[in-house]
Amino acid sequence: MKSKLEYIWLDGYTPTQSLRSKTMVRKDFGGTLEECPMWCFDGSSTEQAEGNASDCLLKPVMIIPDPDRQNAYLVMTEVLNADGSPHVSNGRATIIEGDDDEDYWFGFEQEYFLWDATTDRPPGFPAGGFPDPQGPYYCSVGAKNAYCREIIEEHLDLCLAAGLNVEGINAEVAAGQWEFQIFAKGARRAGDEIWLGRYLLERTAEKYGYSINWHPKPLGDTDWNGSGMHANFSNGAMRDEGKEEIFTRICEEFGKNIERHISVYGADNHQRLTGRHETQSIDEFSYGVSDRGASIRIPVGTVEDGWKGRLEDRRPASNADPYKVAAAIIKTCKEAGF
């Protein structure tokens, strides 16, 4: 029997990378990562190489079943140079060795807009105009407020069948805006799963004639919410020690390193982080218990559990690279002494 292996990678476009993929056909494939060979592609077509030395390598890092194709698998890869060193576009390589153990847990809340190319608007928006103001769309039910649920449900089913650790979905604040959440232990695993979830979403929407808009503020300077990728995180000290001081020191350290985080939290994020629509301003920093207008929210559950739990960095944009986000979070936590 022959199997289809869809090799998935991130291209070299800046400031925001896109997903790319191509199919390899293998005979008598057993479904393991060890059986996935290194592959190459034309980097001159993806902004990752010059034409006179165009080969870039694809190193498989995670494999899951592809429930939407027969005898198929999805293979997440990272891009290497021809000599085997990490390509400059390789965000996964920014996670330092030793930082990827299961001490750090991540839960990413991935928001996005479905997008209709015929109207250049999300579903629910008339061409060149707007629907009723936001308010009834969040976690909505019914055709008047919830749009394209069939795409979202199919995507969820595919993710679960593939083995991705999706922990929930919901309609978001704006019409045509949705969210899925993924949790994983380990920075690389969390990043792999978000990118595979994004890939399945793009491909599912494609079947229905929609694209996915990952821009943090696709509706411009309007009263409509932008899209984020809120990063929930914890380490062993946060989960086990029960000390308010740990959370305070970590939050204070984040406040000392605004540029480190904002620089990898997504392009055009200044359009979203304005101090309105449940955000803090991009050039300010704050933290608080149950405060969705802060840079970092301390969940009330963390306090109620005796200061054991997690933090939520609400600044990452929907188009941010989860690998780079996780790497920055780990670096700052370690500088805080945890």
What DSSP string runs through 146-206?
---HHHHHHHHHHHHHHT--EEEEEE-SSTTEEEEEEEEESHHHHHHHHHHHHHHHHHHHH
Polymer length in residues for the chain: 338
Q: What's the confidence (pLDDT) of residue 52?
A: 85
Backbone angles phi, psi at 151, to 5 degrees: -70, -45
Q: Which stretch of 121-135, 189-203, 204-218, 241-255 has the lowest confidence by average pLDDT?
A: 121-135
Q: What's the confidence (pLDDT) of residue 14?
A: 96
Q: How many helices (H) and strands (E) does the chain have?
A: 7, 13
Does the domain formed by 105-335 have CATH 1.10.10.10? no
Q: Is the predicted pLDDT of residue 95 greater than 80, yes or no?
A: yes
Q: What's the confidence (pLDDT) of residue 167?
A: 98
- pLDDT (tens digit per residue) in 31-64: 999 999 999 999 999 999 997 889 999 999 999 9
Angle ∠(188,193,198) on CA atoms, nearest 5 = 130
Task: Supply 272's token pair.
Answer: 């979203």
Q: What's the confidence (pLDDT) of residue 114?
A: 98
Q: Is the predicted pLDDT of residue 73 greater than 90, yes or no?
A: yes
Q: Which of 301, 328, 163 is nearest to 231 (CA)?
A: 328
d(CA 151, CA 241) in angstroms, rounded, equals 42
Return the domain boundaries, the chain.
2-94, 105-335
Are residues 77 and 60 in contact, defined by beta-carbon separation less than 8 angstroms? yes
Q: Which residues pair with 54 in a beta bridge?
A: none
> Across residues 89-109, what is the average pLDDT?
91
- pLDDT (tens digit per residue) in 300-315: 999 999 999 999 999 9
> Across residues 268-295, what is the average pLDDT?
91
> Across residues 258-277, what is the average pLDDT?
94
d(CA 188, CA 203) in angstroms, rounded, equals 23
Tell me if residue 227 falls in helix, strand or coil.
Answer: coil
**What average pLDDT is seen over the chain?**
96
CATH architecture of the region 2-94: Roll (3.10)
- pLDDT (tens digit per residue) in 158-209: 999 999 999 999 999 999 999 999 999 999 999 999 999 999 999 999 999 9
Helix (H) or strand (E) holding 303: helix 300-304
Domains 2-94 and 105-335 share a fold: no
Q: What's the confidence (pLDDT) of residue 3?
A: 98
Task: Supply 297's token pair.
Answer: 């929210």
Angle ∠(134,132,127) on CA atoms, nearest 5 = 110
Task: Supply 327's token pair.
Answer: 């790497």
Confidence of residue 29 (pLDDT cuts 50, 70, 90): very high
Q: Is the predicted pLDDT of residue 99 greater than 80, yes or no?
A: no
